[in-house]
Amino acid sequence: KAGVTQTPRYLIKTRGQQVTLSCSPISGHRSVSWYQQTPGQGLQFLFEYFSETQRNKGNFPGRFSGRQFSNSRSEMNVSTLELGDSALYLCASDTGGAGTGELFFGEGSRLTVL
């Protein structure tokens, strides 16, 4: 079956703009997690959704938000972009919850903020 799909794969924005990233999980997976990956900090947890409900949120400012739709697809939004938001944003899905251990990751959306 198809893997986790993230769009767009690459994007360039300027400071102050906002961006929306999309994630389509593996069919049948109801949990979607988002991570920010940077060389210095590794993988940092943003939030996790299950059945359209945000169950947990990481330590990121309110500019970072997300949602999940009834078909389990998820979006994350970053408003008022800052240079430090440049990163690879990874989406991962699994069947029953992010705590089960095996997350299936997408290829990521690489955001560059100029």
Partner 1 sequence: AQRVTQPEKLLSVFKGAPVELKCNYSYSGSPELFWYVQYSRQRLQLLLRHISRESIKGFTADLNKGETSFHLKKPFAQEEDSAMYYCALADYGNNRLAFGKGNQVVVIP
| Positions in the binding site for partner 1 (CB under 8 A) | 3-4, 31, 33, 35, 40-45, 48, 50, 55-56, 58, 90, 92, 97-108
CA atoms within 13 A on the CB side of 96: 3
Provide, rounded to whole angstroms, the least separation between the CB of residue 16 and partner 1. 29
Shorter beta-carbon distance to partner 1: residue 81 or 93: 93
User: Bridge-partner residues for 93, per DSSP?
Assistant: 32, 104
Shortest separation between residue 3's beta carbon and partner 1, angstroms: 7
**Tokens at 9, concatenated:** 């794969």
Residue 3 or 16: the one with the smaller Cβ distance to partner 1 is 3
Share of the chain residues as helix, strand and coil, in percent rounded to the nearest 5: 5, 55, 40
Residue 83 phi/psi, 5-degree rounding, is: -55, -35
Cβ proximity to partner 1, 16 vs 99, nearer residue:
99
State the nearest-atom distance from the C-beta of 52 to partner 1, in Å: 14
